[in-house]
Amino acid sequence: MPGEYDIDLLLDLALEVAAEAAGLARAERLAAVSQISTKSTVNDVVTAADKAAEELIVSRLSAARPHDAFIGEEGGARTGSGADGVRWIVDPIDGTVNYVYGMPFYAVSLAAEAGGRLLAGVVHNIATGTVYHASAGSGAFRDGERVTCNAPVDLGRSMLATGFGYDPEQRARQGAVLAGVLPHVRDIRRTGSAALDLCMVADGTVDAYYESGPNVWDYAAGGIIAAEAGAVVSGLDSDVPGRAMILAAAPGVHGPLRGLLRSRKADSAFRSVTG
Ligand code: IPD
């Protein structure tokens, strides 16, 4: 239960550590983009700054809270030994391809959860310095100002964000799903950062976001921020988002969008890769 944790303390730590990691990634960008390696496919890039930022985050969190568990995109993971079971979910740079190209949509994403329940989340846009945060039951904020998702609109007048994975077969399926969605919505945007897509649902820059295949570090912090801004955040069939599908939408749009995505078997994009 959120009341059993000092959520303000977790949030303050997340804000502080995310700001420090964002500063490192910003300062190192020009040097880092000349040291790119690839991960799962040739499109799945990682830079020296992704690794350095994750190391910094883990070392700061470990110093402040040595018993917490964590999982990070760049391979950092530790089982916790604390009685309260807090786990940190770390994406040092969500939107690494944007980071490489200089598109201003890349962010540090940091969330704290316990018992499967998100307690706090911070998404710090490294390029612009915009900071989104939320904690359980306390609302969502952009640069300290409360934000709420858009009021209900119908699906046909909704702006959607979505994303694509790195596996070519998965991308082909995601494209096929998108072809079935596009005629039914106002328009589609693909920023290249799931964390920021979710924050844009939170502040009403878009009405909804869906994606099949992102990892928990891509969507955990953005997910609590969108939910605390009033969006409905779910999977396709489950009420809990997962890798097969995360769907976040203003309440009036969530049901119709979920129906459309179900009719297009939108979670098959991820299942095609995992079997
Ligand atoms: C990616 C971004 C992208 C989403 C991909 C993610 P990364 O994260 O969030 O928007 O579509 O599914 O993998 O690789 O830049 O940390």
- Assess whether the C-beta atom of 203 lies below 6 angstroms from ligand 1: no
Please confirm, yes or no, whether 4 is among the known catalytic residues: no
- Assess whether the C-beta atom of 167 lies below 6 angstroms from ligand 1: no
- Assess whether the C-beta atom of 170 lies below 6 angstroms from ligand 1: no
Beta strands 86-94 and 69-72 are: parallel
pTM: 0.95
User: Which tens digit of pLDDT belongs to each residue from 215-225?
Assistant: 999 999 999 99
Residue 96 host element (H or E): helix 96-101
- Assess whether the C-beta atom of 165 lies below 6 angstroms from ligand 1: yes
Helix segments in 182-248, DSSP class H? 194-202, 216-228
**CB-based contact 242:213 (threshold 8 Å):** no
Whole-number mean pLDDT of the chain?
92
210 burial type by CB count under 10 A (0-12 exposed, 13-18 middle, 19+ buried): buried
Residue 275: per-residue pLDDT: 46
**CB-based contact 226:233 (threshold 8 Å):** yes
Atom of ligand 1 nearest to the CA of 190: 10
- Assess whether the C-beta atom of 241 lies below 6 angstroms from ligand 1: no
- Token pair listed for 37: 């390696």
Mutate to test the pocket of ligand 1, among 57, 190, 193, 211 (most ligand atoms within 8 A of CB): 193
CA distance 108 to 270: 24
> Which segments of the chain are extended strands (E)?
37-38, 45-46, 69-72, 77-78, 86-94, 107-114, 117-125, 131-135, 140-142, 145-147, 159-162, 187-189, 208-211, 232-234, 246-249
DSSP states along 142-175:
ETTEEE-PPPP--GGG-EEEE---SSHHHHHHHH
Q: In what order do the strands lie in the sheet with 246-249?
A: 187-189, 159-162, 208-211, 246-249, 232-234
- Assess whether the C-beta atom of 50 lies below 6 angstroms from ligand 1: no
pLDDT tens sequence for the chain (275 residues): 444 789 999 999 999 999 999 999 999 998 888 878 887 778 777 888 888 999 999 999 999 999 999 998 888 777 877 778 899 999 999 999 999 999 999 999 999 999 989 999 999 999 999 999 999 999 999 999 999 999 867 999 999 999 999 999 999 999 999 999 999 999 999 999 999 999 999 999 999 999 999 999 999 999 999 999 999 999 999 999 999 999 999 999 999 999 999 999 999 877 655 54
Taking the centre of ligand 1 as the mean of its atom positions, its distance from the CA of residue 106, in whole angstroms, is 10
- DSSP letter at 245 equals B
CA distance 146 to 96: 28
Of 230, 234, 228, 262, nearest in space to 248 by CA: 234
Please confirm, yes or no, whether 89 is among the known catalytic residues: no
CA distance 44 to 136: 32
Catalytic hit among 113, 218, 228, 267: 218
Q: What are phi and psi of 125, to 5 degrees?
A: -70, 115
Mutate to test the pocket of ligand 1, among 94, 210, 245, 270 (most ligand atoms within 8 A of CB): 94
- Token pair listed for 158: 């909704």
Taking the centre of ligand 1 as the mean of its atom positions, its distance from the CA of residue 91, in whole angstroms, is 10
Of 221, 223, 206, nearest in space to 257 by CA: 206
- Assess whether the C-beta atom of 192 lies below 6 angstroms from ligand 1: yes
